[in-house]
Chains A and B, each alone.
Chain A
Amino acid sequence: MMNDMSKIEQGIAVDAVKIQARGVQVFYGEKQAIKDVSVEILDKTVTAFIGPSGCGKSTFLRCLNRMNDTIDICRVNGDIRLDGEDIYDPAIDPVQLRAKVGMVFQKPNPFPKSIYDNVAYGPRIHGLARSKADLDEIVERSLRRGAIWDEVKDRLHEPGTGLSGGQQQRLCIARAVATEPEVLLMDEPCSALDPIATAQVEELIDELRLNYSVVIVTHSMQQAARVSQKTAFFHLGNLVEYGDTGQIFTNPEDPRTESYITGRIG
C-alpha cells in the first residue's frame, strides 16, 4: 500500500522491465565472480547495487553494456535482454549497445578535449547530428540534462579537465546522455566528490530517472537509500536480495542483507 503510494507520487510507470537478466554467471579465468544472478531492472527507475568489495556488483553492472568484453579472460554465461533483445547475440554491435546503455565511472574521466567536444564526441561517432547547428543543440541539451549548462555555457571551448571534480562528473554524465541512451550505468559516481557535488549528482540522478533506467553501484548505503527505488544486495557473487529500497532498509528479509546494511560483521 505504502509502496504503491510512493510510486504514484514519484510518477513511476509501474513495473516496466527494461533489462532482464537470467542465470548470469561471470568467470575471470577459473575464478567465478558471479554465481547465478537473475534480476529484472525496471524502466524509469533507479536501481542501486550494494554489497561489500568483491561481491560482484561492479562485475554484474559491467555485463549490462558488455564492458567485460574488453577483459580477455572474462567469460559471461546466461541471458541478458534489453527490451527483450539478447545483448550478447553475435549480431549485436557492442559499440551501438554502449550508446544505448551509457556508463559513468567512479573517477570523472573527461577526454583531454574541450567541454564542447567531450559531449559532441559520442553524437559525432554515432552520426546523430546532421549539421553544426544540430550538434550545438545536442551539446546544449545534454549539458542541461547534466545540470551543468549554466556553469559552462560561457566556456564551452575550454578543456573539460579544467573543471572541478563535481563539474567533471556532471560533464561525464552529460557526455553519457548525449547519445540518447535508454539505460545509464553508474559505477560509484560520487565516491570522488565532496558532499555538495554529491548532492548535485544525486539530484541529477533523480531527474534522469524520468527518462532513463538508471543503475548505480555505490558503497554508500545512505546514497543507495536516498537515490534508488529498488535495491539489489550482492554478496560473494550472489544476488542475495532484491526489493523496494524502503523495504530493504527497514525490514530486509535475508540475514546477510541485514548484517551488511546495519554495519555488522557478516
Chain B
Amino acid sequence: MTDQAMKEKHIVRSFDTELEAVQAHLMRMGGLVETGLSDAITALRERDVHLAERTVKADRTIDELEELVKTEAANIIARRAPTAVDLRVVLATFTIANQLERSGDHAKNIAKRSITIAQSASLDEVTAAIAHQAKMVQSMLAGALDAFMKRDPDAAQSIRERDAEVDATYNTVFRTLLTHMMEDPANITPGMHLHFVAKNLERIGDHATGIAEQTIYLVSGELPDDDRPRRDQTPTETTEAR
C-alpha cells in the first residue's frame, strides 16, 4: 500500500466522489456515536432522564446512516469493481460501519439503563470509575476514526494497545460492584445495571480496537494477527475469595 496511490485521483472522477461520499457518511456516523456515548455518560452521571431519552432516540439516525453506508459500499462494489487500495477502503468502510452501529447500540443501552439507575441508590465511587472508563473509550473511538481518515497505522496500533486499560478498568468496576452488592442488597438493582454499563463500555472499546485494525488492514493489506493481551478476568471471578 502506498501513500502515492491514495493521493492520486482516479481517471474517472465520479469514482473519487463516491469513495469520498461513503467515507463522509461513515464519519458522520462516527460523530453521532461519539455524541451518543458522551450524552449517555452525562445522563448517567447527572441522573438526567430527559437527556437519556433523547440519546435513546438519536440512535435511530445512526442505524439509518449504517444502511446508507452499506448501500453505497455495495453499489461501489457492483458498479466500480474496486481493486487494491480502493477495495480495501470499501471493505474497511463496510466493516467500520458495522462496528459503529454496534457501538451506537451499546451507547443507547447505557442511556436506557441510566434511566433506571437514576431511580436507585447512587454508587458514586463506581459511577466515577465508569466515567473514567468512558473517557478512555471515547478517546479510543475518536482516535480510531481519526487514524482511519489519516491512514495512520501507527496511531491505530497505539489505539489497539490502549484497549487493555479499558479491560482493566472493567475488571475493577466488576469487583467493586460485587463488593457493594454483597454489602447491601439495595445496591443490587443499580449494581446490576452499572455492571452492564461497564460491559457496554468494554464492548465499545473492542469496537474501537476493531476500527483501528481496519486502518492497519487498509494501509498494509493485512490484519494484525498477534493476539492482544486479554485483561478481562471476570469470566473466572467468584464471591468466594471476598
Q: Please list the residues of chain A having a beta carbon within 8 angstroms of any beta carbon in chain B.
A: 221-222, 225, 249-252, 255, 257-259, 261-266
Contact = CB atoms under 8 A, between A and B. Distances in A.
A262 B221 contact: no
Given A251-B1, A251-B221, A263-B15, A258 B85 contact: yes
Q: Is the interface of A mostly helix, strand, loop or mixed?
A: helix
A262 B86 contact: yes
Contact of B5 (A222, A250, A258): A258
The 7 closest A-B pairs by CB, nearest first: A251-B221, A258-B5, A255-B2, A264-B8, A255-B4, A249-B83, A261-B83
B241 interface: no
A265 B9 contact: yes
Contact of B11 (A251, A252, A264): A264
A259 B5 contact: yes
Band of interface residues on B = 20 to 34
Given A249-B84, A251-B1, 4 more contacts: A249-B87, A251-B88, A258-B84, A262-B5
B81 A264 contact: no
B12 interface: yes
Contacts of B15: 263
B82 interface: yes
A94 to B, nearest CB: 38
B10 interface: yes
A247 to B, nearest CB: 8
8 contacts: A222-B81, A225-B83, A249-B84, A250-B88, A251-B220, A262-B83, A263-B10, A263-B11
Nearest to B1: A251
B83 A259 contact: no
B84 A265 contact: no
Contacts, number: 54
Interface string B1-28: 1101100111110010000000000000
Contacts of B84: 249-252, 257-258, 261-262
A258 B11 contact: no
A232 to B, nearest CB: 16
B8 A265 contact: yes
A258 B220 CA distance: 13
Contacts of A222: 81
Contact of A264 (B1, B9, B87, B88): B9
Contacts of B83: 221, 225, 249-250, 261-262
A259 B4 contact: yes
Contacts of B2: 255, 258
A58 to B, nearest CB: 22
Nearest to A261: B83
Contacts of A258: 1-2, 4-5, 84-85
A261 B81 CA distance: 11
A222 B78 CA distance: 12
Contacts of A261: 83-84
Contacts of A255: 2, 4-5
Nearest to A258: B5
B152 to A, nearest CB: 18
A263 B12 contact: yes
Nearest to A254: B2
Contact of A250 (B4, B9, B12, B221): B221
Contacts of A257: 84
Contacts of B9: 264-265
B81 A262 contact: no
B236 to A, nearest CB: 33
A262 to B, nearest CB: 5
B220 to A, nearest CB: 8
Interface string B129-163: 00000000000000000000000000000000000
A265 B13 CA distance: 11
Interface in B204-239: 220-222
Contacts of B87: 249-250
Contacts of A259: 4-5, 8
Contacts of B220: 251
B224 to A, nearest CB: 15
A49 to B, nearest CB: 17
B94 to A, nearest CB: 15
Contacts of A250: 83-84, 87-88, 221
Find the residue from A251, A252, A265 having the highest chain B CB count within 10 A. Answer: A251
